[in-house]
Amino acid sequence: MDLDVFVNTHHTEWDRLDHLLRRGRSLTGDEADELVALYQRTATHLSLIQSSAPDPLLTARLTQLVARARSTVTGTRRASWRDAAQFLTAGFPAAVYRSRHWWIPTAVLSTLLAAVIGWWIGTHPEVQASIAAPEDLRALTRPGGEYETYYSSHPAASFAAQVWTNNAKAAAMCLVLGAFLCLPVVWILFVNVLNLGVGIGLMSSAGRLDTFLGLVLPHGLLELTAVFVAAGTGLRLGWTVIDPGPRTRRSALAQQGRAAIGMAIGLALVLFVSGVIEGFVTPSGLPTWARITIGVAAELAFLVYVYVLGGRAARAGDTGDLEAEGRSAELPAAA
């Protein structure tokens, strides 16, 4: 394609489109129809230039022109409180519900692996010796040791914020890195399971497993569930790269990716709740049974939220993806 000839042929149309866009709301009905037609033709011109004769300056100009025209033609939709309510009552729980076949097996296998690691460490003194020196292990596991004081080592509010930030970052990494063929997600999940297994093993070897579980369960049930949901969703995203099913790989990955972004926001809220429990309930003076009851209640509330609200929304067709008008549209192909 001769770029100079192409520009000379169509530049008056582009200038006219730019003029109409500057007119804004003062267009007549005929001018509005003309704007739509020019928008479609300019979008086609941009596609032809990008594929046949890419020119950075011209491409940048037409890209900006098409974006302005698309905003004018389709309108700009602003997020509202209704959108937030729709997300929290349908979109997010539906996405979690629909991915249950990934995160439930992830949770079961991870819990079993943590238990096996804990048993292996707790019943093999030579493994414990490879982790740390005996005096360091005693400092960790003794009454008033580091495992216990960890949860009260900082003011509750700052500790809750720190825990929330760290856990939300780990969950987001699982969701984002899932596209890399699942491998980073498996590694992040294994590190979390290993840390849990080491704690179980060392505290059980010291005869203080009940104390450890009394400290972990109040916040850990909800926190680990959120991590498992993130990991399962990340694995699902990675598998979409490998096997997109009947859709194109690009379309399938885009849908799963958009849902994963929503999941990251929703899980950040879930982890905020677990962070508050870890900062204020876990180190509190409440009896162990009361702290665990609070943790179990939070976990059951989340599961009811997912299976009742999420199940209902999923059966109604909600996938956790953006609504149609919020998705990126392909450029029109016809002039």
Cα–Cα distance measured from residue 1 to residue 311, given in angstroms and rounded to the nearest whole number:
54
Question: Tokens 């025209």 belong to which residue?
Answer: 69
pLDDT, tens digit, 9 for 90 and up, residues 114-137 = 999 999 999 999 999 999 999 999
Instruction: Name the region of 144 (left: φ>0; alpha: ψ -120 to 50; beta: rest).
Output: left
CB 298 within 8 A of CB 277: yes
DSSP state of 282: T
Cα–Cα distance measured from residue 46 to residue 240, given in angstroms and rounded to the nearest whole number:
30
CA distances 253 to 96, 109, 179, 246, 306, Å, are 17, 26, 8, 12, 23
Alpha helices, H only, the chain = 3-23, 29-52, 56-74, 81-86, 92-98, 100-122, 125-131, 134-141, 146-149, 156-177, 183-205, 209-242, 249-276, 288-304, 311-315
Q: Output the tens digit of pLDDT for each of the chain's 335 residues.
A: 678 888 888 889 999 988 888 887 778 888 888 888 998 899 888 888 877 766 778 888 888 898 888 877 776 555 567 778 888 898 899 999 999 999 999 999 999 999 999 999 999 999 999 999 999 999 989 988 888 888 877 677 776 777 778 778 888 888 777 777 788 889 989 998 999 999 999 999 999 999 999 999 999 999 999 999 999 988 888 888 888 877 777 777 777 777 778 888 899 999 999 999 999 999 888 999 999 999 999 999 999 999 999 999 989 888 776 554 444 444 444 33
CB 225 within 8 A of CB 298: no
